[in-house]
Amino acid sequence: MRTHEIDLPSPPTVNKYWTPRKGGGKMLTKAGRAYREKVWLAVIQKDKPSVITGLVTVLFELYMPDKRRRDVDNLPKGMLDGLTHAGIWTDDDLVDDMRIERVRDSGRNLVIEKGGRVHVTIQENDNG
């Protein structure tokens, strides 16, 4: 199994990533487009693997920007879409297993980083 690691900026919540479109559907917001660009820049600054075409397991380790309460389930959509847009994989439907965790110190306190950060580990599954 091959493993890839990358650091991404903290994403906007799904509520700030998409906005309803007149007539139905959703449209990427200005914040969503800006985040997608930041992910693309993070990916091209790293030695990008060839495009992943098989199933993957993804771990998102969240370094929170502050101590405010957040629902972690509102965060992965922007990261997954951004990684797809940056060409990491053919589509985020390849994510077969996903884990999201807030990083804590040994005292179980949140590790806070100004602006926030997400350490992403992508493991290509052998049975992809």
At residue 15, the pLDDT reads 80
Report pLDDT digits (tens) over 24-50: 888 889 999 999 999 999 999 887 778
Per-residue pLDDT for 118 more than 70?
Answer: yes
Average pLDDT over residues 63-90: 93
Which residues lie across from 25 on neighbouring strands? none
Number of domains the chain is built from: 1
What is the rounded distance in angstroms from the CA atom of residue 9 to the CA atom of residue 12?
9
What is the rounded distance in angstroms from the CA atom of residue 28 to the CA atom of residue 6?
23
Per-residue pLDDT for 61 more than 90?
Answer: yes
User: Can you give the CATH number for the domain in which 51 is found?
Assistant: 3.30.1330.70
**In contact, 128 and 56? CB cutoff 8 Å:** yes
Residue 44 belongs to domain spanning: 3-124
